Structure 1
Amino acid sequence: MSKLTHEDPRSSKATFWLILTTFFWGGSFIFNKIGFREIPPVTFLFFRFALATLLMAAICLPRLKRFNRNVLRKGLIVGAALAATNLSFVLGVSGTSVSRAGFLNNLFVLIIPLLCFAFWRERFDRWTATGLFLALAGLWQLAQGGVEGFNKGDLLSTLCALFIALHIISVSKLLRDEDVYLLSLVQFATVTAVGGLLFLVLPAPPFAIGPVSGGSLLYCAIFPTVICFTLQNTYQRYTTPTKAGLIYTMDPVWSMLGGTLILGERLTAGESLGCSLIFASVVLPLSIKRLRERHLGIDYRAEGAAAE
């Protein structure tokens, strides 16, 4: 792939669409929380990905001739990580505020280099170490500043960050030239199967899908699932992982704004400080790395992108 300059229109276009994905992802915190008022979290997860699977299957009809065992095998592996991500996500969001969940989920940016260092001895610089220190300080402050301390929902949201990191790493390590649409279809179907199994096995309270929860389901199936996966897989190749990571830090900002304006959530001073420290823990190392990239004139993704 040829190097892109800072003025390359593909890089600017990618920035716009990736920012839009963070807006939709931020909205998913809000609409999941609203949907949980009528639909239990695991049931909501099942219906969301069942709808997403049907939509992606319709999109993939012209591509089904490319489907093979390799796509199925890799899609199932990555789909298992996606299932763990979304299961911990819905359980975490249901147990804490969307603002706290959003910032805790964003810790995946720090967990990725930590895992890469632990398993592949990839370089772990001092700025990432500084970020981890700030993150720990932020977690401690959240525990001190919240009414319920660091509750079960917070723990699951932090665990979700680990699964997000594992999903991203599995995508980068396993997926190369496969059709990203077919892989997304297998991933969505895998999450649907896990959600359906839990729906059948675990006792769930009675529920009803009304206009509000139904609208929440449609939003979560279409925008942060089908559309965001498509946009991410299409445009992230035209920027660097560092720049993409910086863009994705907007996700918890949108969720916090939505939680405040739509759900009426309010953070205490201690919670605000904790979230600010966690936000800084992610933004600081990424900003330093991005400045280095700009100094070197790097504005493209080094690795080859998956086939469209």
Structure 2
Amino acid sequence: MQTARDPAMMLQTKATAILLLSTVMWGGSFLFNKIGLREIPPVQFFFFRFALAALLMGGLCLPRLRRLDLTTVKRGALVGVALTLVNLTFVFGVSGTSISRAGYLNNLFVLIIPLLSFTLWRERVDRLTFAGILLALVGVWALASGGNGGFNRGDLVSTVCALFIAIHILTVSRVLRDEDLYLVTLVQFATVALAGGLLCLALPWPRFTVGATSVWAVVYCAVFPTVVAFTLQNAYQRYVNPTKAGLIYTLDPVWSMFSGMLFLDERLTPREGFGCLLILAAVAGPLLGRLVGQKRRSVYLFDKANGEV
């Protein structure tokens, strides 16, 4: 006999599976960016990706365009500026370091968010997060000292990218209200594409040739980690506990590391691997601790409501 909770539980399970799939797409974006950047310069790759993503998202949003108003455009453009900074630093970071290192450094955004929240709004940083920050610093040190080139420019840009990811997430949470998520996403993509186009016009256009592999790399990055992953996350993240969603997203660098090892023959030194493991523990540890705490509180409140405590 089905219970009333079955549909909700099934929806949560489906949402969890879809968010896991989105992390695979995001992890793959590191690989395909790296492949595409072999032929296409970073700014041009950045522009091509989001110009195509904006066109595809525009096609998906055709039935909704009549509801596009000035407020949505303004708020979407503001969030789009943050998304521009995320993806511009992403391509330069990936172009300058291994995708394994870039993935773990990008994931530091989980720890940067509470630091920014404390700095801007004096929101308390709990002990688990503070411990995670300290552990992440040790992990970054191990990562920096473990490679032949030390902490290079690509590593630095990838760390700055983590800062911009945190700013983008906070901007979304503070700026967006009840707008149509699909239209907001379209405006974001269009803003990024416009910024990329302006950069291409402002900077000297380098000479390069584009082969079939690079074209497919642009298509993959525009379709899967951009249009598809954004749409799925907007549609299904609401059905998953925020802490659980954050924990799922910590898998992004794991996929990027595996794809780097399998397809690009990237290898981490033991110290680099230890540093990546520390960063993953620093990011996932506080999230896992909160998830366990939330479950314990739920069990306690359930028992209390039934007179068992």
State the 1:297 CA deviation: 3.1
1:301 is aligned to none
2:200 is aligned to 199
Q: Distance in 1 between matches of 2:138 and 2:113?
A: 19
State the 1:201 CA deviation: 1.4
State the 1:295 CA deviation: 1.7
Q: List aligned pairs for 1:23-102, cutoff 5 A.
A: 23-102=24-103
Q: Distance in 2 between matches of 1:237 and 1:174?
A: 17
Q: Distance in 1 between matches of 2:138 and 2:201?
A: 40
In structure 2, give the amino acid aligned to 1:245: G
Q: List aligned pairs for 1:113-192, cutoff 5 A.
A: 113-192=114-193
Q: Is this contact kept in 2: 1:24–1:224, CA < 8 A? A: yes
So what's the TM-score if we normalise by structure 1? 0.94
1:10 is aligned to 11
Q: Is this contact kept in 2: 1:6–1:297, CA < 8 A? A: no
What SS does the corresponding residue of 2:61 show, helix, strand or coil? helix
Q: Distance in 2 between matches of 1:42 and 1:149?
A: 25
Q: What is the aligned-residue identity percentage?
A: 60
Q: Distance in 1 between matches of 2:54 and 2:31?
A: 22
Q: Is this contact kept in 2: 1:89–1:156, CA < 8 A? A: yes
Q: Which deviates further from its counterpart, 216-225 or 112-121?
A: 112-121
Aligned length: 296
Q: Distance in 1 between matches of 2:42 and 2:273?
A: 26
Q: Distance in 2 between matches of 1:219 and 1:297?
A: 41
Q: Which runs of 5+ in 2 are unaligned?
A: 300-309
State the 1:20 CA deviation: 0.4
What SS does the corresponding residue of 2:228 show, helix, strand or coil? helix
Q: List aligned pairs for 1:231-246, cutoff 5 A.
A: 231-246=232-247
Residues 5, 283 of structure 1: alpha-carbon distance in 2 compared, 3 angstrom cutoff: farther
1:281 is aligned to 282
State the 1:294 CA deviation: 1.5
Q: Distance in 2 between matches of 1:214 and 1:296?
A: 50
Q: Which runs of at least 4 in structure 1 moved beyond 4 Å after TM superposition? A: 4-7
State the 1:5 CA deviation: 8.4
State the 1:175 CA deviation: 1.1
Q: Distance in 1 between matches of 2:152 and 2:215?
A: 29
Q: Distance in 1 between matches of 2:8 and 2:238?
A: 16
Q: Distance in 2 between matches of 1:99 and 1:108?
A: 16
In structure 1, give the amino acid aligned to 2:96: G
Q: Distance in 2 between matches of 1:226 and 1:238?
A: 20
So what's the TM-score if we normalise by structure 2? 0.93
State the 1:123 CA deviation: 2.1
Q: Distance in 1 between matches of 2:274 and 2:293?
A: 28
Q: Distance in 1 between matches of 2:11 and 2:119?
A: 34
2:268 is aligned to 267
In the TM superposition, what whole-angstrom CA distance separates every residue of 1:244-299 from its partner, at most 9, and x where no partner exists?
0000011000000000001110011111111111111001100100101122339x
